[in-house]
Structure 1
Amino acid sequence: MEHDVARSSLLRRPMLALACTLVCQLVAPTIAMAGGPDPRQYMHGIGAVPATTVNTFNVFFSASGLPPRGADRSGSWPHDVYVAQWHADTGTLDAPHLFIQKPEAQEPVTVARNRAGHVMVSFEDGWNAPENVTQRYGIYDTALRPIKPYPQQVESGGHSGHITAVGDRFVVFYSDGWVNGGGVDNLGSGNGVYVKVYDGHGKLLRSVDVAHDRREWWPLVAGGATHALLVWQEFVPGQTEANLKIAIFDPVSGRITGEQVLHKHLQYYTYSVAWLPAVERFLLVGVAKGNGFADLIDSAGNVRASIPCMPATVREAGIAVNQRTAYTPAADGRLLQLQAGPDALTLSGTLMNTDGKPVHWRPVGSVGLLRTSGALDWLSLTEKGLEPLRFDPEKAQAANAADQCR
């Protein structure tokens, strides 16, 4: 149900979260690294939007310095937000520069561009946050000049936000509150997911409860022509796997329809979503029951086609779209190639990095960008810095029986 713009959360996390110290693991679980440090302390969160120059994109990412330093001596995560221009004609990535710099961490960054060319940048912020963290945002023009610049507040205590644009409106989907215990490493869960809608100048238009005061969190959103697809995970008592839920959101009316559990036995946090304009469908990929899956969903929330079993995908990895073809990383070091129609979805092939070696994908963020030549550049966050990768769709290998299921 809708709520007042000034709603405060009923339950806050008792300890400093993602943006601040090593107890940041309360917001999202430690990534299993065979006893190693959580890789998110180095870099976490990446996104890209078109820039003013044709065939040029602004790539935003959060990092603890360049090269990334990781947590400081006190255990705090010192992430700032950086931006670099990537050129589709040449595949060149310009030197990154600081975009937002404050004490504590501003991560993971998420970015969207609306129909008018305005850019929203949002992230969970540990700086000057009376309730440990807060979801904040800023709005800029296409040249990244301020319209309503950071620090603007989505929700004090809000976290794990993800944003998109539908027409001229921005949709911010975020979590709020925390419940200790259960889930991955017994670290607990978020306690609700919520939506706020803003116009292109940062004015709050609407605030909607999606799952209020319930153990549901890690929200992702993709913007379509008129609606947005909301995706999030639901805590299941006594299990170390989640339910994956979806719903359709109309940013004009604020109406939510088609809420459903789409997958059970979800691998926590391992899902991603994108809009495919050429077929007017949403694409959802993830991992459940140990295998990858993909679903093609229309703007009414109906699943039009599915791949029930394919290679596992990668946590926080992006989906690159080229007309009816989509690409996303596979946990085994390849790139998956999916072919979509309005009512059809197939795993049509797999790609190797042009050096022929499997990629050691990191679970902290990556984004794929299409070059004018047809090649794919993939920018992957790692503990050592931003890793540029290149794939050639002309050399895709046909998917085999082992790729379809195991």
Structure 2
Amino acid sequence: MEMEPSVSRSAPRSSFLRHTLLALACVLAVPSMASAASDPRQYMHGIGAVPASAANTFNVFFSASGLPPRGADRSGSWPHDVYVAQWHADTGVLDAPRIFIRKPEAQEPVTVARNRTGQVMVSFEDGWNTTENVTQRFGIYDTALRPIKPYPQQVESGGHSGHITAVGDRFVVFYSDGWITGGGVDNLGSGNGVYVKVYDGRGRRLHNVDIANERREWWPMVAGGSTRALLAWQQFVPGQTEANLKIAIFDPTSGRVTGEQLLHHHLQYYTYSLTWMPAIERFLLVGVAKGNGFADLIDSTGKVRASIPCMPATVREAGITVNQDKAYTPAADGRLLQLQAGPDSLTLSGTLMNTDGKRVQWRPVGSIGMQRTSGTLDWMSLTEKGLEQLHFDPAKTQPANAVDQCR
């Protein structure tokens, strides 16, 4: 997903203005970068994977400005297209990527979900042929990626930062809309609300729900459970350079929102992620607050069942990979964290190094973990030079030490 500082909901689109603003926004999005021109999102941004039609095969989607990535063009615009490549769990081989969607202006960051009956939704923030700076668009395809209701379908004109999931046979699209300048890190401002739309496998809209209507709340993330979805987003705090983290439970059948709550103060902007752990019927949320990582185990009513209040900081836009009662996610210090969960328990059980023994320079533009049939993990990380495929072996997990557990 991407923070998109639109000038206004009614402003005409300008590719130069759009990406000039995005370059400025990188200071907020990636505080460690030395200059706006080095924003790594201009090269690659957004990655996701869903099962393909063949057994033990997955379709991996990502947004990139060419392969190898070129970055911004001479006008400052980002020329991202959406690529897809098949990954094979038996061998760990990633086939050569092909362009799935190509249009002028950026189609990024891509987010993808597959529903119970095999339909696949692909969605992203789109700068092509819009009446406003950007628009959130989608397409729906069958398991073999043949079109059912193909791109370009519109979620919301002016919509941005969308994230999607599937619950049963329905798709849940959680997105932001509008931008308010001023305040926050470097006085760059905030989004102006978060919203949900629900679609069936044919692309028909079933619900349209305001979660935070025209309020300074944005950067939506969603995870789909067995019957409900968990929504998470950040709330602007006047006079501060940190945010509040809010969550709610969403029922895609009724369109009802319950359990809305402020879960964390002093959130590091944009640095949180969430997933569903089907073996224990719980949502897992990780993030960074007050400079340290945290993790929460949440049930389908929104109740927090267990927490890790302090652990190594996690990485912006990094995925969480689940294997039964264990979950893995990158740490900002270059390792991979292993969390172990039960229905009412959650611990930092260990850390993993890349199989080459070196710490990874995780980039804040998207990564996902894929589990091989052998049990090892391939982690696909987007970088300025292209997609990097890393390898981790859970059999070589090191126990979490006292520093990792903030003791």
CA distance in 2, matches of 1:208, 1:309: 34
CA distance in 1, matches of 2:224, 2:396: 31
Partner of 1:110: 111
Cα RMSD after superposing both structures: 1.6
The answer as to whether partners of 1:375 and 1:392 remain within 8 angstroms in 2 is yes
Partner of 1:130: 131
In the TM superposition, what whole-angstrom CA distance separates every residue of 1:237-265 from its partner, at most 9, and x where no partner exists? 00000000000000011110111110000
The answer as to whether partners of 2:12 and 2:131 remain within 8 angstroms in 1 is no
Q: Indicate how the Cα distance of structure 1 residues 312 and 97 shifts in structure 2: closer, same or farther if over 3 A, else same.
A: same
Partner of 2:40: 39
Partner of 1:332: 333
Partner of 1:215: 216
Tell me the TM-score normalised to structure 1 length.
0.95
Q: Indicate how the Cα distance of structure 1 residues 17 and 402 shifts in structure 2: closer, same or farther if over 3 A, else same.
A: farther
- State whether structure 2 residue 164 is matched by structure 1 residue 163: yes
CA distance in 2, matches of 1:221, 1:19: 29
CA-CA distance at 1:128 after TM superposition: 0.3
The answer as to whether partners of 1:124 and 1:159 remain within 8 angstroms in 2 is yes
Structure 2 SS opposite 1:305: strand
CA distance in 2, matches of 1:392, 1:190: 40
The answer as to whether partners of 1:231 and 1:244 remain within 8 angstroms in 2 is yes
Partner of 1:3: none
Q: Where in structure 2 are the equivalents of 1:114-263 lying within 5 Å?
A: 114-263=115-264
CA-CA distance at 1:24 after TM superposition: 2.3
The answer as to whether partners of 1:17 and 1:23 remain within 8 angstroms in 2 is no
Partner of 2:312: 311
CA distance in 1, matches of 2:403, 2:130: 49
Q: Indicate how the Cα distance of structure 1 residues 127 and 14 shifts in structure 2: closer, same or farther if over 3 A, else same.
A: closer
Q: Indicate how the Cα distance of structure 1 residues 25 and 246 shifts in structure 2: closer, same or farther if over 3 A, else same.
A: farther
Partner of 1:24: 22
The answer as to whether partners of 1:27 and 1:189 remain within 8 angstroms in 2 is no
The percent identity for this pair of structures is 80
Partner of 2:323: 322
Q: Indicate how the Cα distance of structure 1 residues 18 and 210 shifts in structure 2: closer, same or farther if over 3 A, else same.
A: farther
Residue identity matched to 1:215? R
The answer as to whether partners of 2:196 and 2:209 remain within 8 angstroms in 1 is yes
CA-CA distance at 1:276 after TM superposition: 0.2
Structure 1 SS opposite 2:403: helix
CA distance in 1, matches of 2:29, 2:325: 36
Structure 2 SS opposite 1:293: strand
CA distance in 1, matches of 2:277, 2:165: 14
Partner of 1:83: 84
Structure 2 SS opposite 1:404: coil
Partner of 2:272: 271
Structure 1 SS opposite 2:404: helix
CA distance in 2, matches of 1:30, 1:376: 28
- State whether structure 2 residue 397 is matched by structure 1 residue 399: no
Q: Indicate how the Cα distance of structure 1 residues 254 and 25 shifts in structure 2: closer, same or farther if over 3 A, else same.
A: farther
CA distance in 2, matches of 1:11, 1:380: 33
The answer as to whether partners of 1:272 and 1:319 remain within 8 angstroms in 2 is yes
Structure 2 SS opposite 1:65: coil
CA-CA distance at 1:12 after TM superposition: 4.9
CA-CA distance at 1:316 after TM superposition: 0.2
In the TM superposition, what whole-angstrom CA distance separates every residue of 1:281-317 from its partner, at most 9, and x where no partner exists? 0000000011000000000000000000000000000
CA-CA distance at 1:209 after TM superposition: 0.1
Q: Indicate how the Cα distance of structure 1 residues 12 and 221 shifts in structure 2: closer, same or farther if over 3 A, else same.
A: farther
Partner of 1:57: 58
Residue identity matched to 2:21? V
Tell me the TM-score normalised to structure 2 length.
0.95
